[in-house]
Structure 1
Amino acid sequence: MICPHSHREPNKYMSNEKEISTKVPNLRFPEFSDVWRGVELGDFLINKQRKVQKPNTLYKAVGIRSHFKGTFQKMDSDPKNISMTELFKVQENDFIVNITFAWEGALAIARQTDDGGLVSHRFPTYEFEEKVSSHRFFRYVFPTMRMKYNLGNISPGGAGRNRVLNKKDLLKLKILLPEIQEQQKIAEFLTKADNWLANLKNQKQELENYKKGVMKIVFSNKSNTNNWTTHLIGEIISVSNKKYNPKTDKGNYPDIEMESLEKNTGKLIKTFDSKSLKSIKNFFNEGDVLFGKLRPYLRKYYLSKMSGVCSTEIWVLSSNLLQNNFLYYLVQSGNFNRYTQQSSGSKMPRAEWSYIAQQSIDIPDRSKQQKIAAFLTSIDKLIESKQNQVSEAEKWNKGLLQQMFV
């Protein structure tokens, strides 16, 4: 959608003058048929410098994250830390750009939380001419690879802070712009799609919070009453040390490495071929519980659905007293994770089984283990279902952005 104002060789993010005067989106509301007009950003962006004296007390500073990640506020900025005598006030719906890191996608449209915040001269602010342009529409226009490419073109210099945006060239960048009514319609529709996605994410988060609450109650020592007994972890859970050597063992197995496990979800992302990696591995069987001892705060765990081998940075856990599903949830409990982190180092945190084995836990009889594991499994299935809905919604929203803009 953005066309650069430069003399570099064209690439997939560039459009020529003929294209910019004729293109229309693939997906469009039926009431609109006019072509999108080629205009410059300066045709509707008005530079606004709301100059103020540097405060004498702590103030709200506004910053911009790179890669189109939006704004952030620092509520207690100390004026003693800046040399400028003047700053500039931000208003909601301003277009703001960080001229030092514009090439890295450091631009945003100010939100309500930014209103009244202050920026330095390196963050020029612009107002939209609302009769011809909608700030809501441009929340979806600006965060594109084409825009990032164009900002790089007009930010000459070397790397990092040596690349400074040319503000005059910024206002000369060309885009395809529909009439204001179509802009508003598109923005309204995409905002609803975003709200739908946010609602799904909130529902997933509520389920995850519910699971945490249930886990806290179930595995809290104070909550356990009848049919629970206290044991040392090392007395009821064993760590398998059966090794696999890819150089001497003939078999070829699925190999689970630390990077194979998604943190804090129990999901297996991928496996490797055991013969493709030369290091010694641990054998595991179907039903064993795997737990990553390296950087245990990442909470990487997995209930194996197969037999195979895994990194020696992963414990292979099993128990004669605990059902596999219950053990799987036990290693997710607050007590177990507290033990793993108390026993780990600082530079390369690694949990120590010798310490954990000496800690005590309470466990119920097998009948109650089964009921607890079944209930927690049902919650996990709801979370997984909601995550699938989130993933589908994200794909749908991404498709909309690709089809509704040019």
Structure 2
Amino acid sequence: MTELTEYAVEDVIKLVRRPIRPAAGETYREIGVRSFGKGIFHKDPVAAEAIAGKKVFRIQPGDLIFSNVFAWEGAVAIASEQERGMIGSHRFMTHQVNVKVADARYLLHYFYGGPGLNVVRSASPGSAGRNRTLGARTFATKQIHLPSVTEQRRIADKLDAAMGSIARVVQLKKESDALVQQHADSLLRSVDQVATLGSALRVDQDFVNVSSDEKYAVTGIYSFGKGLIKRPVIQGSETAYPRFARLRKGQVVMSKLNAWEGALAVVEESFSGTYVSPEYPVFSLNTETADPEYIGHLLAWPELWSRLTPRGSMVRRKRTTPATLLATEVPLPSLPEQRRIAERLTLARRVAEASARQVADLEVLRKGLLDAAFSGRL
């Protein structure tokens, strides 16, 4: 077992503030820190006048930076040469590392995913979110346990290599998702024949009266074309709705409130027999004019969502009516052509889903590596 030495946080990292006064006519770039050790991001350039009333501080390469409002969920990062000359608000606590006792890369992993995260949380009182603010003075006096600098570097080298590989796979997944979306957009935009969705769908009226003594498996819809979601079974007495719609395989469901951001889906077999409230209009599909698989891809098309977007202010309070959906024009070629397009899009989607599973597996691996690193098994 590696020997550990106890230190006060303030003996390992020192809070350093470099206040600046924005100069008229100059532009500045602020940084932000992602949670879960996901690094620094850069905000858009701003004129000095836009931040004249804020307390801002210069960032230096090598700074170990904590977001004081999200440190409790691992919002820690190391500034690189890319951040030289950038600034951060008072919310970003910049620390210099005592290189005699610690390696900055080791501390990064330690504080976002190792024992140091609990130390951060113990110095962040409150319930959640912005109520859990990292207290600088409290944090400075907390005790942490570190191996020798040589051992820290060895562990950091291994974690950096592994985490770098994982990050590259995640980035490739994002790029492949973008290509899949571009492929779908290209295929759907190439269709010359258009028709209203009313030629493929009709409003369904399969309602059941809600009984207070019965239980109901309720379904909801994710936004952004991510499909249906099963919600907890409820007692009829727990809802104010007098009736529910009962779902069948092949139907189409939309959320009145969020259809404009992709809350539409075709019902799969696993959701048959579940229920939705009147806030989720249900439609039957005319299989003589529309292929269910093609319609499923169409409902996941951002261009369709944009055609359903309400105009004016207070967009999120506006609802999409069944009439609006049915009156919306969409690419609707012949059935054989729909099936050809659907086949290609389904294949692309399966590839994307497989890579999504790989990314989920890598997240499990990531957590396992961190656990191994700080328990003497790496």
TMscore range, shorter length = 0.7 to 0.9
C-alpha distance in 1, partners of 2:182/2:76?
A: 39
1:203 deviation in Å?
2.8
Q: Give the direction of change, closer, same or farther, for the CA distance of 1:368–1:191 in structure 2 (3 Å limit).
A: same
1:380 corresponds, among 349, 361, 366, to 349
Evaluate the alpha carbon distance shift between residue 34 and residue 233 of structure 1 in structure 2; reply closer, same or farther with a 3 A threshold: closer
Which of 292, 316, 322 aligns to 2:255? It is 292
2:289 corresponds to 1:319: no
* Paired residues for 1:49-68 under 5 Å: 50=18, 54-60=22-28, 62=30
User: How is 1:183-332 mapped onto 2 (pairs within 5 angstroms)?
Assistant: 183-220=152-189, 223-224=190-191, 229-247=193-211, 254-257=217-220, 261-273=221-233, 275-276=235-236, 278=239, 279=241, 280-306=243-269, 307-308=272-273, 309-317=275-283, 318-320=285-287, 321-332=289-300
Q: Alpha-carbon deviation of 1:299?
A: 1.1
Supply the distance in 1 between the matched residues of 2:130 and 2:247 (Cα, whole angstroms): 48
Partner of 1:76: 46
Deviations 1:345-375 (A, max 9, x none): 7241311222332333342222222221121
- Distance (whole Å) between structure 2 residues aligned to residue 52 and residue 336 of structure 1: 47
Instruction: Confirm or deny that 1:151 pairs with 2:115.
Output: no
Cα shift at 1:202 = 2.4
Q: Which residue pairs with 1:358 in the alignment?
A: 327
| Percent identity of equivalent pairs | 21
> CA offsets per residue over residues 156-194 of structure 1, 9 Å max, x none?
xxx979978354x54332211112222122222222222
Instruction: Give the match for residue 4 of structure 2.
Output: 36
Q: Which amino acid aligns with 2:46?
A: D
| Contact map agreement 2:8 2:143 (CA 8 A) in 1 | yes
Deviation at 1:394, TM superposition (A): 0.5
Please state how far the C-alpha of 1:243 moved relative to its aligned partner: 0.9
What is the match of residue 16 of structure 1?
none
Supply the distance in 1 between the matched residues of 2:63 and 2:203 (Cα, whole angstroms). 58
List per-residue Cα deviations over 1:367-405 (Å, max 9, x = no partner): 222221121111111111111111111011112222322
User: Measured at CA, do residues 93 and 219 of structure 1 come closer, stay the same or move farther in structure 2, by a change above 3 Å?
Assistant: same
In structure 2, what is the Cα distance between the partners aligned to 1:113 and 1:172? Answer: 31
* Greater displacement, 374-383 / 230-239: 230-239
Provide closer, same or farther for how the CA distance between residues 348 and 357 of structure 1 changes in structure 2, counting only shifts above 3 A: same
1:398 equivalent to 2:358? Answer: no
Output one character per residue of 1:205-240: Cα deviation in whole Å (capped at 9) or x when no partner.
2332222222222222xx235xxx443321332121
On the 8 A contact 1:287/1:303 being kept in 2, the answer is yes
Paired residue total: 359
Equivalent residue of 1:142, what SS?
helix
Point out the structure with the larger helix share: 2
- Kept in 2, the 8 Å contact 1:340–1:352? The answer is no
Q: 1:273 to 1:83 in 2, by over 3 A?
A: closer
TM-superposed CA distance for 1:334, in Å, is 4.1
Tell me how far apart the structure 2 counterparts of residues 194 and 237 of structure 1 sit (CA, whole Å): 48
Relative to structure 1, the CA distance from residue 196 to residue 347 in structure 2 (aligned partners, 3 Å threshold; closer, same or farther) is same
Q: Which moved more, 1:270-279 or 1:61-70?
A: 61-70
**Which residue is 2:301 aligned to?**
333
Q: Does the C-alpha gap of structure 1 residues 131 and 94 become closer, same or farther in structure 2, counting only changes over 3 Å?
A: same
CA contact (8 A) 1:62 1:118 kept: yes
Q: RMSD value over aligned CA atoms?
A: 3.6
Conserved 8 A contact 2:225-2:301: no
Match of 1:165 in 2: 135
Partner of 1:139: 108
Unpaired runs of 5+ residues, structure 1, are 1-32
Return 272-281 or 191-200, whichever deviates more.
Answer: 272-281
Which protein has the larger Cα radius of gyration, Structure 1 or Structure 2? 1
Could you tell me how far 1:287 is from its partner in structure 2? 1.9
Q: Which residue of 2 aligns with 1:21?
A: none
CA distance in 1 between counterparts of 2:292 and 2:50 reads 59
Relative distance call for 1:301 and 1:142 in structure 2 (3 A) is same
Stretches of structure 2 that go unaligned for 5 or more consecutive residues are: none
Letter in 2 for 1:357: L
Change (3 A) 1:361 1:208: same
Distance 1:49 1:218, change over 3 A: closer
Normalised to the residue count of structure 1, the TM-score between the two structures is 0.75
Moved more, 383-392 or 325-334: 325-334
2:110 matched to 1:110? no
**Could you tell me whether the CA contact under 8 Å between 2:123 and 2:139 is conserved in 1?**
yes
1:107-144 Cα offsets, whole Å, 9 max, x none, are: 54324332222356776533223343211111111225
Question: CA contact under 8 A between 2:124 and 2:134: conserved in structure 1?
Answer: no
Give the AA of the match of 2:211.
K
